[in-house]
Amino acid sequence: MKDLLVVATYIVVLFSVIAQAGTIAGVVRRVSSNRSRSDAGAKEAGAPEPPLAEPFIW
């Protein structure tokens, strides 16, 4: 009985991690596609490129 509980817990955790990774990947994909779309629109309009941010140093 205890083994069944361990296996069930493992499966639930595994699916939670997969779902979380899918959510994060979806957000990253949406943000990057929005950024590339807005960059393309700015270049077509002849707007100057925004200055690059300072690199973050740990």
Per the structure, the count of domains in the chain is 1
The answer to whether residue 54 is domain-embedded is no
- Cα–Cα dist 4/44, whole Å: 60
Res 39 pLDDT > 60:
no
The answer to whether residue 26 is domain-embedded is yes
The answer to whether residue 21 is domain-embedded is yes
The answer to whether residue 4 is domain-embedded is yes
The answer to whether residue 51 is domain-embedded is no
The answer to whether residue 38 is domain-embedded is no
Domain span holding position 4: 1-31
The answer to whether residue 55 is domain-embedded is no
- Cα–Cα dist 40/49, whole Å: 11
Q: How far is CA 54 from CA 39, 48, 50, 51, 57, in A?
A: 19, 18, 12, 9, 9
pLDDT digits (tens, 9 = 90+) for 9-37: 999 999 998 888 888 877 777 777 766 65
The answer to whether residue 22 is domain-embedded is yes
